[in-house]
Amino acid sequence: MAKFLSVVLATTSLLFRLHVLEVALSQNAVETSALTHTSIVLPSSSAVVSAVLSATSTNTPLTSIEPSSTLSLTSTITAAPPLTTTTSFNPSSGPFPPVGSFPRDYSPAGLAKLWDVVGPVEVPPITTTVIPQTPIVLPSPPPALYPSFFAVAPEDILPDLKFPEGFFFGVASAAYQVEGAVKDEGKGPSLWDWANRQPGVVVDNTTADVVDLHYYLYKEDVARIAALGVNSHSFSISWGRILPFGAADSPVNQEGIDHYADVIATHLQFNVTPVVTLFHWDPPLALSAYYGGFASPNIVDDYIHYAKTVFTAYNGSVHTWYTFNEPQVFCSELAGFPFNLTLPNGVNSSTAQFQCSYYLLKAHAGAVKAFREMRITGEIAFKSADYVGMPWRANNTEDALAVERHAAFGLGIFADPVYTTGDWPQILKDTLPPDYLPRFTEEESKEILGTADFFAIDAYRTYWNAAPPEGIDACVKDFSNPAWPACNLEVMFDLNGWASGPASDPLSPWLQATPQFLRTSFKEYHRRWPTSKIIFSEFGFTQPFEGTRTPAELFQITEDTERTNYYMTYLGELLLSIHEDGIPVEGAFAWAIMDNAEWNSGLSARFGIQYVNYSSPTLERTYKRSAFALSEFFRQHLQN
């Protein structure tokens, strides 16, 4: 995935390996057309990056002829000034201090020293909470996308099937990706505030210092989603806003507590249910500097303390909680640059992911135990990600094993301990020695098993899996094999070379739209990790090349056809999954509420159902077609 550089590199090398695999298999009856397809589908990432950079720096003025629908979609239209976030500010920061050497100084001067590690930050154009002056009224919807003989309108998709009562129709976001105001009101730096300044980490050299400024614009943002009929918003709290130094013995930042209290109250005022994630990949930088963050056992108590602080502050106002977003993605990030510069002694790039997984599970379990002991009202789980694949070559035993390996290393690593066994998947224990993957004691297993009230899945796509060309056994025995330890390949095209689905933006090469596999996926989630309730906690799509367009092309940006098709087809399949397969899905959350800082892809890969004009000091939002389609789909399919 393009989320993190390490993952981009892994993907790039995986793509390379797919070529190898394909060449190996071509002797075995794969047609030449498959090779042609593959080379088209898999562009070189550096070519993509330079294309994006040159396109975003173009400053084309708005032409005088504009379709009237564009005018009705946005409040202000001016000629496009240059990107505020990239032109006036050059992000830079120094090396990470040697882990363990940083003094614990919880004074304002100590906080300033932490920010010195990050370097100068961009000052936002707005510095107080904005109260919208007028109610948000939805502009006129876009005309039909296609003739009805070709594609039905959102409200006509399976019109008689309804979502269960109380269904969450939601949008999703995460603090780092939307808030901006990165140093304001007492916030401590997160590791990403430092990482995004390291060379080559973010493809377009943007930070999240300002980004959507949701920190000050949340009232308008909540009003805008409420206007669509959205009834819930899944967002995360920034640990560093609540505890700038992160640690259990460090001071709480009252401004941070008050801020989220008002964010939550605003949601309730607009009848938008707040769904809160405690941790969406933004650990306090201080904890990495003090002891190596999630690669150290010290994280467990600090995280539990943070969780308790948040539970106490918002108990009664929030019902649905997540401890962690996609822990396997977060932990694998630690292995790669620049996070591998923040590891404590004794942990290295090979072991970091699994040490992190161990401590993170203990932190999760400890937080859920506290949640239950404190009698916090509501429900709690973590957000899983990834998919259970299908064997690339049907009836091929090795590919069937590859599917199991993919499921174990992707979803099972966290889902098995919490939902079914209290232990790591056997495949992991058979592959990874204990100095890589610490084993649970019986006591720990008991503490971890059952620490989720429902299953939440960020299910963006489903692919095939294949064995590496040298075979799974050979791979498992060879620590130097690039596919080790998971020893499976992700294949995004069938045996004839056809893609599993339409491609998204080249900056998210991991993502193709695969609605046809959604029902199979949900059956698998439910079969393997059964619960009485599933939340489809994130799904979304990057409209190809959207990030290369200038504000003058707004009327093209808002016409996000592929994203719209992605959402409509996924939601139709979701209805079938609920009605025909009996899968207990009780909510679906579109990623994302608006364009945002897409980790390593910065502002260049766009997931928003609303456009954000990053060239304007007021950062206006504009609904895209997909926002209307979602709104219309849910109006038809929600029960009152």
Interface ranges with ligand BGC (CB under 6 A): 3, 174, 177, 325-326, 385, 458, 538, 591, 598, 607
Q: Which of 326, 444, 524, 546 is catalytic?
A: 326
CA angle, 526 then 528 then 534, to 5°:
30
Helix (H, G, I), strand (E, B), or coil: what is residue 15? helix
Of 546, 545, 538, 541, nearest in space to 612 by CA: 546
Q: 386 with 325: CB under 8 angstroms?
A: no
Q: Could you tell me the smallest distance in angstroms from the CB atom of residue 614 to ligand BGC?
A: 16
All residues at 6 or more sequence positions from 424 whose CB lies less than 8 Å from its CB, including other chains: 412, 413, 416, 417, 437, 439, 440
The upper half-sphere exposure of residue 214, i.e. CA atoms within 13 Å in the direction of its Cβ, equals: 30
- At 14, the amino acid letter reads L
Q: 86 with 56: CB under 8 angstroms?
A: yes
CA angle, 142 then 636 then 68, to 5°:
10
The upper half-sphere exposure of residue 7, i.e. CA atoms within 13 Å in the direction of its Cβ, equals: 20
The upper half-sphere exposure of residue 66, i.e. CA atoms within 13 Å in the direction of its Cβ, equals: 20
Q: Could you tell me the smallest distance in angstroms from the CB atom of residue 175 to ligand BGC?
A: 10
The length of the chain, given as a count of residues: 640
All residues at 6 or more sequence positions from 475 whose CB lies less than 8 Å from its CB, including other chains: 467, 468, 481, 483, 484, 487
Give the other-Cβ count within 10 Å of 316's Cβ. Answer: 8
All residues at 6 or more sequence positions from 555 whose CB lies less than 8 Å from its CB, including other chains: 66, 67, 69, 70
Tell how far CA 244 is from the center of its chain. Answer: 23
* Dist. CA 298–CA 306, nearest whole Å: 13
Dihedrals φ, ψ of 54, to 5°?
Answer: -70, -35
- At 269, the amino acid letter reads Q
Of 272, 197, 285, nearest in space to 235 by CA: 272
Omega into 124 within 30° of 0, i.e. cis?
no
- 155 belongs to the catalytic site: no
Dihedrals φ, ψ of 254, to 5°?
Answer: -60, -35
Q: Which of 538, 559, 562, 586 is catalytic?
A: 538
Q: 487 with 472: CB under 8 angstroms?
A: yes
All residues at 6 or more sequence positions from 249 whose CB lies less than 8 Å from its CB, including other chains: none
* Dist. CA 386–CA 42, nearest whole Å: 20
Nearest 10 degrees: Cα torsion 403, 406, 408, 409: 170
Instruction: Tokens for 146, please give them.
Output: 């296609």
Instruction: Tokens for 305, please give them.
Output: 């303390």
Omega into 135 within 30° of 0, i.e. cis?
no
Helix (H, G, I), strand (E, B), or coil: what is residue 391? strand
All residues at 6 or more sequence positions from 39 whose CB lies less than 8 Å from its CB, including other chains: 19
- 546 belongs to the catalytic site: no
User: Partners of 567 in the beta sheet?
Assistant: none
* Dist. CA 542–CA 513, nearest whole Å: 10
Catalytic residues: 326, 538
